Amino acid sequence: MSDCSKNKNPLIRNGTSQGQRALAKLSPTSVEILDKSTEDWMVWAAKFSDHVGYTASNNASVGTMKPFFHSNISAQLALVASYSPEQLSRYIREVLLFLETEDVGLKGKYTELFDIIFSYFSVVDRLFKLTQTDTEYNSILLHHIRAKLLPLESRAFSYYKVSLNPPTGQVLIVTGPESDLEIFHEPLVAHEAFIASGLSDLNGARYDASLDFATYYGLILPDESIFGGETSFIKRIKYVTQHNFFTSILDEISASATFITRHSQKYLSKYLTDWPEHQPNYALYLTWLQLLEDTKAHLNELTGRHLDFYYKNVLRLQPLAQSPDAAFLVMELNKVTATYAVKDATVFLGPKDDNGDIITYESIRETVLNKAKIKHLAALYYGGPEDTIGTQINDGRLFAAPIINSADGLGAELADDVIAWHPFHIKEYVNAELAHINMPKAEVGFAIASHYLRLREGEREITLTLNLSKSLTLSNTEYRAYITTEKEWLELDTLATQTGPSLNQMRFVLSIPADKDPIVAYDKEVHMGSLTATEPVLKIVLNHTDGSNFPYSTLSDTLIYSVLLNVRVGDINGSYNEKGVKNLELHNDASPLNPSKPFHPWGPEPTVGNSFIIGSDEIFYKPGAKLQLNFKWKDLPLTTSGTIDTGAIDFDGYGGAPYVSFNSVAGPVTPNIKILKLSKNKWEELQDEKSVFIPSSSSSVSQEVGLELNLSGSTEKEMFLSKDEDWKTYGANSSKGFLKISLNHDFGHRDYYNALISYSKVEGNTITAPKYPYKPTLEAFNIGYEASCQLNINTSSTTTFKNRPLEFYHVGPFGDSEQHKALQKTNPKLVPKFLSKTGGTYKPQGSLFIGLENLAPGDTQSILFQLQEGSEAPLLEKPEEHLFWEYLGENNVWKTFDEDGVGDNTSGLIESGIINFIIPKDASLEHTALENTLIWIRCSVKEAPDAVAKIIGIYPNAIKVQRVIPDTKEYESMLTAAGEIKKLQLPEAKVKKIEQPYTSFDGKPTEDDEAFYLRASERLRHKDRAIMIWDFERLILQSFPEIYKVKCLNHTKITGSLSEGTLVYNEVAPGHVSVITIPDLANRNDIDPLKPYTKKSTLKDIGEFLRQRSSCQVQIHTAQPDFEEVKVKCSITLRDEFPDINYYKGVIQNDIMNFLSPWAFASDTDLNFGGSVHQSVLIDFIEELPYVDFLTDFELFHIKSSGETTKVDEVIASTARSILVSVPAIEHDLAVGLKAPETVSEIDCNDE
């Protein structure tokens, strides 16, 4: 921010408002040839007649003509009705002010007050006597005198008497001074004359008819108390004229004059038109006055005709012609019509005008309609530093609303008083501070799908290694991991990510305990989402923690090159474990085997070559797997000491005569085995002479043996099934997917039987009988294995993509999409970068997603965006290139519209209008990132999301129509209410429905005379050129009637935005002119009355308007006012009769707000630039409130728009564009309480 606040503009002004333009002198009626009314002529005649002599029939001069023109009741009422009571009130205030402030001439002014009082009593008394012929008028007047004036008389007489003959001897009354004041057009009566002439008895209402005024007056006693004990005549006069008892007499007289004037005005018309008691001569005079009215009206037109001749004939200026209004229509086609073209100038029928004629409208351009409808409106919002709420850090947090036009982003109804919604976010403010972001936090991350994740059982471990464009790590709280099971997504325990062997590798190690459900293939019905995977899916999503930063920003800018997936079930370490796969397909040469109970792998008495066949529909789909076959033998022979009797496992016969071993070759202690793989329908040897009884790490027979088997060689991989092959049970046609363990040696069962026969034939044997060899029985058998696969994402090779062992997906809040360079033709990111423009990078802020059904690539669509104009952030600078419109193409790729693909008539979502879209041919209906079968349009902003208006509604198939104005037609109104335009002039069967959702706009009737004279007079001065300050302000107020007030700041530069730190403000910058505007608050409920800002679109239009009318060397700036807030802090004690603390705290807060910003709540109060507020003024105001007893600890704060808060004694506006306003009522910091009860101190009764 450039701080040039020390450079002050020396010209201090308040700007110009619309009301200040309308000068009374511009109206022809301000200068009338005959400007007297009938009442004025009657008053003139009554006065003039006193100067015209009356000659009797004998030619003798007998007085004047006054009795003929003054005594008539009509003349009397005319005197009263034409009088201005304000004249009397103003004169009384001037006299009282003189008596209060001056010390010389006090007696004369004091006496004048009694002259006024007595003259008023006298005039009203005479009016009563002269109007007794009309009982109706007279009775009302009498009632008023008795109720209002008689109570004043005795007080006035008592004060007069004591002033005339005071006990102190200081006479305050002097001989009546002369005054020009008249009461009801009658001169003042001096007090001496009044006392001498007196008042009537008012038919006994004032005093008894048997008495006279002198007696009545003599009975009233002087009242010395009115002087308050003062002795000095100056002090006595000042005291009495400030005493409420005395001033109330004057106030009542002023009020009485107003009443009688209005009462007489009401009855005067009756006497002029319907009163048969007029004297003939006066009736003739009244008749002449009535005839004069026609002549007067004709003569008084001369001023207007002369003005019109000069303006219209000489200067050739004409009133502005009426301009047609426009309206938006939304059309719907019938079921069988796919498209329909509304031709240019197609006529629509509106309502009837005042003459009964139908108003017609016509389309302004050809528009092709189709059956498109908006099915979804969704939004994403990327939080910024300004979105932090308490301890919740939202900077960098991603929010997603599947239904943005709702209260919570999920479909809740908007509040009744909410008519519009923001296209990018749902924020809730309390006292101008952000309180909530009512949008779900976005689920965003990535996922992999692979047959390698078929992990049915055992203790499973998944290691995921990502090769990235930069080094990254995530803590275990920054992400969550899920994998697909039969009924749900299974959440996995997470550990902090590890760095791989390469610096730019990120490794996830995830464990699945044996007691967890099998991992199964992704099922859209169960697991939801929009993945296209048919294999198990591992999903990594970023975790939202309110008190921590959301890691999306870093990850969304990170490229991913390859993914390495490693799975392990059980341990592969040569040691037996039961953590592996047990659900295996097992066979021996005789039959299938059931691994759930002990079984004979080679049969009960196997011989050389017997086979144990192993298959797995999990393991043998994973080429390159490393296996560990875990054998747990049952019932191994034991010695008498309890150890395994290795000699009893394999019987090789006896050595020496007479017994001969039947084994031709001496074998090992235990039979060895050969391992073969089934490949291409042939068994091929993998390993030979392996023991399944002796662990590789030992030389002793063990009950538990783990045998490792590496199948990662190229030839071994041929035995694995491809992921798309179906698993088939082992049989004669099996070609791969099985292992065979074949015996190289038998267990000597045949030798045993032969030896036993030989042994039984010999009598008296001294050697031990042969032992039955071990019958190989497996108590348990499982296979642990480890397998891995890798996907190179950053390659465009279609062959690589087609043969990919795993799939990589972006996980988004609205859908998921597979990512690969062969699909999107660009390097994929680790997580979806929703808010970035295709092919570029910019700071993500927000996106609006519009899903259209019944629309196809190549179609056109006209969409109406009805906006709450003026709801955009008024102080936020709208970027030049603000909105980016994109459409969703194949493979979930967002693409930018062609230059002519978007016709934006909303000025960037600032004002209501239609946006015309040409849907490109490569737009896709098939996608997974958002709902399928729809055309998706995205509107994104890279910054300043609040610089657009809120949306009231979005309507497809919209057209704009304009009123057709016949040459001879003049419309008084150019507005057509919503719903009135609903028919075509020529009916069309293809059109099912026509709707006008909103009132028409932009229409103006023909300029009336008053507006024409104002515009013409201003035009003569500024000549449609902006040179002087006067020119700038009048030009704006004329052309922009929605502006209430404008202030032009000469040589002042205002650019940039305070919120963005780019504000430049300099009041001494030659060549620059800044214009500050305030909108009209009338009929606008979308404007904060405390801070009325002008719409950004209006400011833009004003700037362009002025540039066309000013010098090319002048740089024009339009800006908002700088509202500087005033805040009060104090402690207030209420009066005892107002005990409700909470209620009156709110009342006082509102009172202070209304006092500081009266123009926000009263239309007759002007809004002023600059100024100051002193704390003494506020203290006095609060103390005078009827419910306030006293206040303490008063503090006054000045809050600038930058947020700088200063405690001051006087708040002074800091700039020429500043306006001092109150903070919202609730922000005034008031400690309100009641007066503490008084306590009586305890008295010691023993004290004397």
pLDDT tens, residue by residue, 184-229: 888 898 998 999 999 988 888 888 877 888 999 988 999 888 888 8
Token readout for 888 is 């969703």
Residues 829-856 have a mean pLDDT of: 77
First to last CA, the chain: 78
- How far is the CA of 824 from the CAs of 227, 562, 890, in angstroms? 100, 15, 8
| Selected residue with higher pLDDT from 1084 and 33 | 33
pLDDT of amino acid 417 = 78
C-alpha angle with apex 1064: 1063 to 1066, nearest 5 degrees?
145
Q: What is the pLDDT of residues 998-1010, one digit of tens each?
A: 999 999 999 999 9
CB 1056 within 8 A of CB 1029: no
| pLDDT surpassing 90 at residue 889 | yes
User: Distance between CA 94 and CA 97 in Å, rounded?
Assistant: 5
Please say whether the beta carbons of 779 and 634 come within 8 A: yes
Q: 1144-1149 long-range CB contacts below 8 Å, 24 or more apart?
A: 1144/1187, 1144/1232, 1145/1230, 1145/1232, 1146/1225, 1146/1226, 1147/1187, 1148/1182, 1148/1185, 1148/1187, 1148/1188, 1148/1228, 1148/1230, 1148/1232, 1149/1225, 1149/1226, 1149/1228, 1149/1230
pLDDT at 1183: 94
pLDDT higher than threshold 80 for residue 1245: no
Greater model confidence, 658 or 582: 582
Angle at 33 between CA 27 and CA 34, to 5 degrees: 110
Token pair in block for residue 646: 């290795």
pLDDT at 1068 over 60: yes
Q: Which residue has the tokens 């101190």?
A: 1241
Q: How confident is the model at residue 699 (pLDDT cuts 50, 70, 90)?
A: confident
pLDDT, tens only, 1158-1191: 988 776 788 899 999 999 999 999 999 999 999 9
Q: Which pLDDT belongs to residue 589?
A: 92
How far apart CA 497 and CA 471 sit, in angstroms, is 11
Average pLDDT taken over every residue of the chain: 89
Mean pLDDT, residues 360-368 taken together: 96
What is the average pLDDT across 531-553? 93
> What confidence category does residue 844 fall into, taking pLDDT thresholds of 50, 70 and 90?
low
For residue 660, what pLDDT is reported? 39
Q: When comparing pLDDT for 1161 and 907, which is higher?
A: 907
Residue 839 has pLDDT above 50, yes or no: no
CA distance 430 to 487: 43
* 1236 class by beta-carbon count within 10 Å (0-12 exposed, 13-18 middle, 19+ buried): exposed
Token pair listed for 305: 């005709």
Cα–Cα nearest to 650, from 617, 693, 707, 714: 693
Residue 379 banded pLDDT, cuts 50, 70, 90 = very high
pLDDT category of residue 59 using cuts at 50, 70 and 90: confident
CA neighbor of 393 nearest in space, from 555, 551, 541: 551
Q: What is the mean pLDDT of residues 928-957?
A: 93
Residue 342 or 273, more confident = 342
**How confident is the model at residue 656, as a pLDDT?**
43
Q: Which of 333-347, 491-505, 737-751 has the highest mean pLDDT?
A: 333-347
Average pLDDT for 836-852: 70
Q: Whole-angstrom Cα distance, residue 930 to residue 529?
A: 10
Evaluate if residue 317 carries a pLDDT over 80.
yes
Q: What is the pLDDT of residue 26?
A: 86
Does residue 302 sit in helix, strand or coil? helix
Which of these, 412, 340, 415, lies nearest to 372 by C-alpha position? 340
pLDDT at 766: 64
User: Crossing angle for the helix pair 106-130 and 135-144, nearest 10 degrees?
Assistant: 150
Q: How far apart are CA 790 and CA 807, in angstroms?
A: 10
In whole angstroms, what is the distance from residue 820 CA to residue 814 CA?
20
Provide long-range contacts, Cβ within 8 A and 24+ apart, for 239-248. 240/159, 240/163, 241/96, 241/99, 241/100, 241/110, 241/113, 242/100, 245/155, 246/159, 247/96
For 947-997, write each residue's pLDDT tens digit: 999 999 999 999 999 999 998 889 988 999 999 999 999 999 999 999 999
Give the mean model confidence (pLDDT) for residues 113-131.
92
pLDDT band at 177, cuts 50/70/90? low
pLDDT at position 329: 98
Q: Is the pLDDT of residue 763 over 80?
A: no
Q: Quote the distance between the C-alpha of residue 777 and its chain's center.
A: 75
CB 239 within 8 A of CB 224: no
What pLDDT is recorded for position 1081? 79
**How high is the pLDDT of residue 1243?**
45
Q: What percent of the chain has pLDDT over 70?
A: 95
Q: If DSSP codes are grouped into helix, strand and coil, which group holds residue 372?
A: coil
The first and second tokens of residue 18, run together, are 């619309």
| Percent share of the chain, pLDDT over 90 | 62
What single DSSP character describes residue 905?
Answer: -
- How many CB atoms within 10 Å of residue 768? 8
What token pair was written down for 338?
């796919």
